[in-house]
Amino acid sequence: MAPGHGMDTLGMALTDDRAASQTVKALLSLRDLILAGELKSGDRISELSVVERLNVSRTPIRMALVRLEEEGLLELIPSGGYAVKAFTERDITDAIEIRGTLEGLAARLAAERGVAPSALVRLKDCLAEIDALIAQPIGSDDNFSSYVALNERFHALLHEAADSPVLARQLKRAVNLPFASPNAFVKVQAELPEAQAVMTVAQDHHRCVVRAIEAREGARAEALMREHARLAFRNLEFALRNKRTLGLVPGAALIRARAAAQAL
């Protein structure tokens, strides 16, 4: 190896790491600004304005904007640059349907291909933790935060159980769709008068899916996960009828009012 070659390689690696870190920082910051409503639907976003606001160089900002356009939070505009996207009720239901379809496929693949005993143990352990939590009223912030984390963990374990890198990539894109995440409407769900009952039904779906996977019943596992995703439709309808609960949904400011959407 030529003198200094190793140091050059190390320097390039460190530079790449810093660039990746800056891109992630820009991506997360921009996504938070949009979902918090600080950047509103229709707002134009230029690279220069974001550079000044986030104090990040242009290349990471450019990459973050491309990623957010791929996720669906931004859209390209003819004159150049990006604008924050608005979403209709149909957009949201489509996003939920896509997530449910892909999670159904994950459950079917896991059932048909079989999963390792250790993976089943992790799924069942997660079920047991959720059982213990919903056995008591989900009233406190701590209990609710624990439920959100466990629900997210269960879905992640299900995705892993499919053992499909191709599907994992598509699922990652799907849950990044605005309002499509398994936890997108969980805060609204907690406000429902029948919140405890809905969580019990959701947990029964979880349990039945794990049983179907263990029994190698692919079609049943798929149907259960698709039905499970549809619980989000109920939460969406409740949120749209109630401005206070709608405010609990990340990105609620991006949802186009039903009357306005019908006028277009």
- Write out pLDDT tens, residues 166-195: 999 999 888 877 778 887 766 666 666 666
| Domain termination residue (choose one: 84, 116, 145) | 84
Asked if residue 9 has pLDDT above 80, the reply is: no
The Cα angle at residue 53 between residues 174 and 59, in degrees rounded to 5: 65
| Tokens 């150049």, located at residue | 80
Q: Give the structural domain span for 14.
A: 5-84
Asked if residue 17 has pLDDT above 80, the reply is: no
Task: Give the integer Cα–Cα distance in Å for 163 and 121.
Answer: 16
Asked if residue 225 has pLDDT above 50, the reply is: yes
CATH code of residue 237: 1.20.120.530
Task: Give the integer Cα–Cα distance in Å for 262 and 12.
Answer: 53
Say how many domains are in the chain: 2
Mean predicted confidence (pLDDT) in 214-220: 98
Same domain, 178 and 151: yes
Token pair, residue 55, equals: 């104090």
Burial 84-94 (b: 16+ CB within 10 A, else e): bbbbbbebbbe
Same domain, 47 and 113: no
Task: Give the residue with greater pLDDT, 220 vs 133.
Answer: 220
Same domain, 57 and 96: no
How confident is the model at residue 83, as a pLDDT? 93
Same domain, 71 and 128: no
Task: Give the integer Cα–Cα distance in Å for 106 and 145.
Answer: 26
Mean predicted confidence (pLDDT) in 83-90: 89
Residues 251-261: tens digit of each pLDDT: 777 887 554 44
Asked if residue 15 has pLDDT above 90, the reply is: no
Same domain, 208 and 241: yes
Mean predicted confidence (pLDDT) in 222-250: 80
Q: Poorest-confidence range of 61-65, 88-92, 99-103, 190-194? A: 190-194
Same domain, 26 and 136: no
pTM: 0.76
Task: Give the residue with greater pLDDT, 220 vs 239.
Answer: 220
Instruction: Confirm if 62 and 19 have CB atoms less than 8 A apart.
Output: no
| Domain termination residue (choose one: 84, 117, 149) | 84
